[in-house]
A and B are shown apart, each in its own frame.
Chain A
Amino acid sequence: MTDKIPVTVLTGYLGAGKTTLLNRILSEPHGKKYAVIVNEFGEIGIDNELIVNADEEVFEMNNGCICCTVRGDLVRIIDGLMRRKGKFDAIIVETTGLADPAPVAQTFFMDEAVGAKTKLDAVVTVADAKWLKDRLKDAPEAKNQIAFADVILINKTDLVSPEDLRELEARIRAINPYARVHRTERANIALAEVLGRNAFDLDRILDIEPAFLAAEEAHVHEHKHDHEHGHSHGNGLKHYHDEDMQSISIQTDKPLNPDKFFPWVQDLVATEGQNILRSKGILSFKDDPERFVFQGVHMILDGDHQRPWSSNEKRESRLVLIGRNLSEEKIRQGFEDCVA
């Protein structure tokens, strides 16, 4: 079925402003109906008959493999919600402040019934401009939420100085250079920037260049000026390295041998999957006229031939990983050994 219901996952550490964003989404006159799955402590100020209170139940599968966890409550709730299909256009899942986004995302890949009816749209993380810096030091959950995100809102920007804001942004970029970053006050943002992103759609893995935020004033919430700066860090952003969370980007213009690449990448996620939060790739295989694209969450990989390479397109392969304590040298070498 093609009419899968999009699901947006809303994360963020305690007090960052998730509920404010949720209330904004529900109250704006967008003409859409959202089914909202909130954690039991959530306080939503909007009347909506499609609000479901959930106990976050993270269940291990396959006898305790830590990478194969799903949100048991989501499996059940989505099955129940789909009985009312037609009553809503999209689903929003708000997680608790201490939640790891991975089990939520994995649920969409690991549960066939959930995956058949719904699709993950994006992981949106709300960050507290004043406190995130401290939380990145003492709360691994907060760092996970930043590393995992497709969209990051640096919220409450009115509470910090421009210098502090730039520094925080540089720290966020050091962890996750691929997310779209927006600066907001009271989670004020155009909904199109957080909903309908198609971040997990294989067909949309077109551009995995790092995105950089233009230096804009905090109260301006039109962020259409993302510049691509390759590997140089523009806009005067300081260059940080997070101690344990990194991103690795590898590319080659030599075609790859699929018989080498697939065993290598499968072995990589089997052994390092616990440390790899997200992975994405666009691949050019030898004697293969089509682009192969894939994405992954921890140990789960999802990939497919996307479309033929066009004649004016540079045939190159790119692999991007975000994770903890990754051995960049080893991964680089492993990737290069896959050249045909």
Chain B
Amino acid sequence: MTDTGTPTVSLTDRVRPVEAGAPVVGVHFLKRTPVFVLGEEVLLFAPEDGERRVAIHEGAILASVSEATRIITGGDDGRLIATEASGEHREIAVDDKRRWIDQVALGPDGTVAWSAGKTAFARSKKGELRTFEAPSTVAGLAFAPKGFRLAIAHYNGATLWFPNAVGASPQKFEWKGSHLGITISPDGKFIVTTMQESALHGWRISDAQHMRMSGYSARVRSLSWTAGGQFLATSGSEQLILWPFDGKDGPMRRQPKMLATSKARVTVVACHPHQPVVAVGYADGVVRLVRIDDGALILARSADEVPVSALGWDAEGRLLAFGIESGEAGVLPL
């Protein structure tokens, strides 16, 4: 049950429901077409004029990322697949040992990186394949906003890897413990990881200065940067947590902004691409839009006690799509 405290504006009657029929593990937009990533095998294209299911993997879909024209997915079939708006899809890599491809990342110029086990792979613009052996299984993979640089999360820290700088040693950032997700701030100054503990850890890249961001009630599984990179929005607590990254010190010695309190835990966050607004999904199935400036709330989906598992905006920020663990989904035009 979500306790709003104040009366909430509701847009639930404007949602166009989509029957995914299987757990939704991700959602992306190819132009204005919402595409739901299902737990197994299928991408569900759900434009207004008719749904289409495209089977692209032979098992679970473990990771997905997208840009304007294509979605890249990694599967437990050991394949990396690129799917276009037409539904056409092709295998762009296959693991030679058929290991799970469970991390994928897209660079600013459309370069693709992925990982299987301890090995991270990146294909340069020229098509050359580069690899990096992490000290433990690669648990998170993210491109820097500029250049051909990748941040890799692993046990006891993170590594910044420059796939084209052959011979140069990767930059290491150490902190004890298991680092899972990873992101680089849009200004390229900070690396932030989600940890096995209910906390984030961060480093300023220039001097490896540490940042500890704790106080969560659960492991943080969803991260999103607000437009312009002023805040890092996170799940893992019974409210939306926004860490300030606007100064040169990031969140060091600063408190996060806490908005949209609920009795249920936040499971997914997705920042609006242009406005200071965050879409927040909760463990009770509620989806709300939160305005950062004043904390104003708009209800996009009511509680049904099944966790929200995916949220995504189109590039213009006029459509919000959400998916639920039970296999329900919806698109809200704004």
Contact = CB atoms under 8 A, between A and B. Distances in A.
B245 interface: no
Contact of A80 (B102, B155, B197): B102
A49 B137 contact: no
Contacts of B25: 83
B227 interface: no
Interface residues of A, number: 27
B60 A76 contact: no
B136 A57 contact: yes
B238 interface: no
A112 B196 contact: no
B60 A112 contact: no
B43 to A, nearest CB: 14
A112 B62 contact: no
A113 B216 CA distance: 14
Contacts of A63: 176-177
Contacts of A52: 76, 100
Interface in A31-59: 49, 52-53, 55, 57, 59
Contacts of B219: 111-113
B177 A60 contact: yes
Contacts of A49: 59
Contacts of B176: 60, 63-64
Interface in A73-129: 73, 75-77, 80-85, 87, 111-113
B18 to A, nearest CB: 19
B261 interface: no
A62 interface: yes
A73 B25 CA distance: 20
B177 A61 contact: yes
A25 interface: no
Contacts, number: 69
A76 B196 contact: no
Contacts of A62: 177, 197
Chain B, interface residues (CB within 8 Å), range: 20 to 34
Contacts of B23: 83, 85
Given A49-B59, A57-B137, A59-B196, A83 B117 contact: no
B218 A72 contact: no
Given A75-B196, A112-B218, A83 B137 contact: no
B202 interface: no
A170 interface: no
A63 B197 CA distance: 10
A70 interface: yes
A83 B99 CA distance: 16
B137 A55 contact: yes
Best-buried of B62, B102, B178, B219 by chain A (most CB within 10 Å): B178
Contacts of B102: 76, 80
A65 to B, nearest CB: 10
B59 A72 contact: no
B269 interface: no
B284 interface: no
Nearest to B117: A55
Contact of A84 (B59, B117, B118, B155): B59
Given A52-B100, A61-B178, A73 B137 contact: yes
A83 B20 CA distance: 14
A85 B40 CA distance: 9
A72 B62 contact: no
Contacts of A57: 136-137, 155
Nearest to B155: A59
Nearest to A59: B178
Best-buried of A49, A80, A81 by chain B (most CB within 10 Å): A80
A53 B99 contact: yes
Contacts of B39: 82-85
B142 interface: no
Given A57-B136, A80-B102, A111 B177 contact: no
Nearest to A77: B100
B76 A80 contact: yes
B221 A113 contact: yes
A58 to B, nearest CB: 10
A53 B39 CA distance: 20
A80 B117 contact: no
Nearest to B175: A63
A80 B40 CA distance: 10
Interface in A5-52: 49, 52
A84 B177 contact: no
A286 to B, nearest CB: 32
Interface in B27-80: 39-40, 59-62, 76
Best-buried of A62, A72, A83 by chain B (most CB within 10 Å): A83
A72 B139 contact: yes
A84 B218 CA distance: 23
Contact of B62 (A53, A55, A61, A80): A80
Nearest to B136: A57
A81 B177 contact: no
Contacts of B100: 52, 77, 80
25 contacts: A49-B59, A53-B99, A55-B118, A57-B155, A59-B177, A60-B176, A60-B177, A61-B177, A61-B197, A63-B176, A63-B177, A70-B196, A72-B155, A77-B100, A80-B100, A80-B102, A81-B60, A83-B39, A83-B62, A111-B196, A111-B219, A112-B219, A113-B218, A113-B219, A113-B221
Interface of B: 23, 25, 39-40, 59-62, 76, 99-100, 102, 117-118, 136-137, 139, 155, 176-178, 180, 196-197, 218-219, 221
Given A55-B117, A72-B196, 19 more contacts: A49-B59, A57-B155, A59-B177, A59-B196, A61-B197, A63-B176, A72-B155, A72-B178, A75-B196, A76-B102, A77-B100, A83-B23, A83-B25, A83-B39, A83-B40, A83-B61, A83-B62, A112-B218, A113-B219
Counting from the closest, the 4 A-B pairs by CB-CB distance are A83-B39, A83-B60, A59-B178, A112-B218
